[in-house]
Amino acid sequence: MTTWTALTTVNGKAQAERLGAAMEALVPEPTGVGVFEVQDGSGLWEVGGYFTESPDETALLLLTTALNAKPFTVSELPDTDWVAHVRRELAPVEAGRFFVYGSHDADKVPSGKHPLLIEAAMAFGTGHHGTTLGCLNALDRLITGGATPEHVVDIGCGTAVLAMAAAAVWPHHVLASDIDAQAVEVAEANLRANAMQDKVTVVEAAGFDHAALAGPFDLIFANILKGPLIALADDMSTRLSPGGHAILSGILNDQADAVIDAYRQNGNNLVHHDQIGDWSTLTLLKPA
């Protein structure tokens, strides 16, 4: 079945949510509307709708004019089996000793690797994005270096792939959190799929705002964005054990220095700065 998309960007979450809500009342109505922050530190939000009939472009123009958004870009999508397409495009990912795969590639899991089953459609963090891959590589490096943290937490966990990677290697229970309730549900589904529901606990929280996240932690993952990472620099440093590591990502390469400075000011040293494409992953150490 042919479908159409209508996409635009707007400044700020409030405007984006208003525009998304207004799109719901269009005729013909969209089959779905999404509102997402553009993950480049620009402050822009993307608003999009999917339609099974050609959308009313005049109505869309009126909405963008009223809500000070850029004009919608309307595209007709071919009749495509998108599930099959995604499965073809998202091949398994190897990151050191970890192998991230979808169920359609279960027959490709190599021996000697820690397999992590993540369905591509579920949430951010399949291993294909430079930030997640960078974090897995950084974790692999710590393991090779002999790190044996007892207390590990994944802040902004998404699919919980990083928490599961830590739980696959070390015997201690791992904590994970996400600000989004749906992401928590996705993470818990992934834990069940990997038989790790007894090894990782996921809580809904903004930053460290949960009793379970009081710390201290020997290893903290935070694959989020520059702004939240800088805002959490003090809290994260306080909760990081002396001699503990933080693995941070969700950072564009030209944003890395600002994040490094924020954590240096809180007493942490940069150990590694890895770049994959446009994205940086930082490994930090709190001196003992």
Sheet containing strand 114-117, edge to edge, reads 93-95, 98-101, 114-117
Question: Are 71 and 139 in a shared domain?
Answer: no
41 in a structural domain: yes
Q: How many domains does the chain have?
A: 2
Q: Looking at the structure, do residues 70 and 148 belong to the same domain, yes or no?
A: no
The CA R_g of the chain, rounded to the nearest whole Å, is 20
176 and 248 housed in the same domain: yes
Do 21 and 135 share a structural domain? no
Encoded amino acid at 10, one letter: V
Whether 148 maps to a domain, the answer reads yes
- pLDDT above 90: residue 175: yes
Q: Which residue has the higher pLDDT, 223 or 106?
A: 223
Residue 84, C-beta contacts closer than 8 angstroms, at least 6 positions apart: none
Length reported for the chain: 288
11: CATH: 3.30.70.260
**Which of 49, 77, 105 delimits the end of a domain?**
77
pLDDT for 214 = 93
Single-letter residue type at 186: V
User: Which class for 86: exposed (0-12), middle (13-18), buried (19 or more C-beta within 10 A)?
Assistant: middle
Question: Whole domain around residue 254: which residue ranges?
Answer: 125-285
pLDDT in tens, 138-156: 999 999 999 999 999 999 9
67 and 130 both lie in a single domain? no
Mean pLDDT of 264-284: 93
> N- to C-terminal Cα distance for the chain?
60
- Give yes or no: residues 69 and 196 share one domain: no
Tokens read off for 179: 């600000």
